[in-house]
Amino acid sequence: MTKKICIVGDPHVDNKQPTSRTDNYMDASLADLKCSLIIASKNNCDAIVFLGDMFDRKQVNAEVTSRLIEILNKNDYGDPWPFKKYTLMGNHDIDNTISNLDKTSFWTLIVSGCIEYVNEVPELGLIFEHWNGRIEETISDGLFTKYDFPVICAHAYIADQPTPFVGAAILADSFAVHPKTRLIASGHFHFSMDVDRTDNVKFINPGSLTRRNFKSDDINRQVKVAIVEYDLEGTFANVTYEDVYTAQPYESIFNLEKREEAKIVRQEVAAFTKTLNNINFDRMTYLQDPVDQVMTTGKELEIEDDILENACRALNKLNAEKVWWHF
């Protein structure tokens, strides 16, 4: 039996206004998310799947949360959306700490009943791998070989080529999957990806629903969602893309004069990254809150989250190894 789902990249909804955006970010992010629901409805989808990071922070204000719940609950005619709604949990949703889950705006969304947070949907042949600190490692170790489902959605750093800023990223052609799996959709990275492996497995990332900061990849990027048609037997998966028509052009939402200033920030990013490479992490493990020190310094320089997350992951791993060694 053929199924059809709409897959949406990281929304990062927030009431906090990014300094680089000239429009109202909260209104824009909610409008784009609503547009993805309308697209799913027009395509007669069985479900819509958000790939994680519904929110940019673990706690946003009540206004944006209530507006998002209302959008997810009903369409402009006051009727429930005619399809299932699912979301993965992203690292931003819980501030990189799983124990935060029940203290987050993401959890408020889940308990409201407007969207489902589950691990699998057998009737649609879907598996969901939510973010955790070791997700890329477990995927590399064969996690996806256990799932005899045609579609896997994951909030994980999966790319079609190496990236210099995220050492934890894994390549689409570097790990095994079950023979029945036809498509793997991943969020987390904000750029788009669509590649086919020689074993007839397709890897996609529709690209993030948001554009918070200046990024060269976004200059000519039209925000899109993926429409995936597939069968439960795992014989095929066909992917098309639909424009999120509410997403405004790059030059309409960013102050391009500030973009020149951002070049200086990028130079600081390069210097910061070089500094991280030269840090004596062994010494830092004996300082108070070395991760906080790295985060604070990075935030002051407006370092991109991907870089900071990779640096802090390295520190956390080293701290764990030190604790084990002392025992």
Q: For residue range 43-91, what is the model confidence (pLDDT) as tens digits? A: 999 999 999 999 999 999 999 999 999 999 999 999 999 999 999 999 9
Cβ-Cβ contacts under 8 Å for 267 (sequence gap 6 or more): none
**What pLDDT score was predicted for residue 139?**
98
CB atoms within 10 A of CB 284: 16
User: Across all residues in the chain, what is the average pLDDT?
Assistant: 88
Q: In this predicted structure, what is the pLDDT of residue 274?
A: 64
Q: Is the pLDDT confidence value at 17 over 90?
A: yes
Residue 115 has pLDDT above 90, yes or no: yes
The pLDDT of residue 1 = 84
Q: How much is the pLDDT for 61?
A: 97
pTM beyond cutoff 0.85: no
CA-CA distance, 181 to 231, in Å (whole number)?
Answer: 11
pLDDT, position 224: 98
Mean pLDDT over 94-123 rounds to 97
Would you say residue 313 has pLDDT above 80? no
What is the average pLDDT across 121-135? 97
Distance of alpha carbon 280 from alpha carbon 282, whole angstroms: 5
Break the chain down into helix, strand, coil percent, rounded to 5.
40, 20, 45
Predicted local distance difference test score (pLDDT) of residue 286:
47
What pLDDT, on the 0 to 100 scale, is given for residue 279? Answer: 54
pLDDT over 90 percentage in the chain: 69
Query: Rounded mean pLDDT of 282-294?
Result: 58
